[in-house]
């Protein structure tokens, strides 16, 4: 069977979908808002207010709805950013906690809208694919002691040096 099914996250905001999409576009390269829809007459939101936003973050399609205050983000779901190196970790970490975001443990953070992100060096995934259980445990102990992840320190722990 041939399929063209793609997954696209849809984020629920109270009334900040367009502002969030614009903010995320300042953090991620190759990003843009692709469409904005507004509430019309006899709809649940105020007429003319932004209802739905479609945007891309470095080519990843995402949608956002201004659905009201009924639902909020929680750590039960996060968006994971696989970073090539420490410079990328620093860029995304600092960009996403700017303007009211909060650092968390183990590479997790919340942005100013309350959305959880994991800013992770790709090297960590490579380490976790190793057959060396002791090395993986050393690396994870290092991760568990960090807020923003430090690639060199995790690598030293993995290597046992």
Q: Where in the chain is the domain with CATH 3.30.720.100?
A: 7-71
C-alpha distance across the termini of the chain, in Å: 50
- This prediction has a pTM of 0.92
- Which fold does the domain 73-161 belong to in CATH? 2,3-Dihydroxybiphenyl 1,2-Dioxygenase; domain 1 (3.10.180)
Residue 127 to residue 159: CA distance in whole angstroms: 10
pLDDT digits (tens), the chain, 161 positions: 666 778 899 999 999 999 999 999 999 999 999 999 999 999 998 999 999 999 999 999 999 999 999 999 999 999 999 999 999 999 999 999 999 999 999 999 999 999 999 999 999 999 999 999 999 999 999 999 999 999 999 999 999 99
Predicted pLDDT at 6: 82
Write down the architecture of domain 7-71 according to CATH.
2-Layer Sandwich (3.30)
Predicted pLDDT at 1: 60
């Amino acid at each position: 069977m041939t399929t063209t099914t793609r997954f696209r996250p849809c984020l629920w905001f109270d009334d900040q979908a367009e502002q969030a999409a614009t903010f995320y576009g300042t953090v991620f390269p190759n990003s843009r808002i692709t469409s904005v829809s507004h509430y019309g007459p006899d709809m649940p939101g105020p007429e003319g207010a932004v209802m739905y936003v479609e945007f891309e973050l470095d080519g990843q399609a995402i949608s956002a709805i201004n659905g009201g205050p009924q639902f909020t983000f929680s750590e039960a779901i996060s968006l994971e950013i696989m970073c090539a190196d420490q410079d990328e970790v620093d860029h995304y970490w600092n960009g996403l906690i700017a303007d009211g975001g909060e650092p968390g443990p183990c590479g997790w953070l919340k942005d100013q809208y309350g959305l959880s992100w994991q800013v992770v060096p790709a090297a960590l995934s490579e380490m976790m694919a190793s057959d060396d259980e002791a090395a993986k445990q050393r690396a994870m102990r290092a991760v568990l002691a960090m807020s923003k992840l430090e690639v060199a320190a995790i690598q030293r722990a993995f290597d046992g040096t």
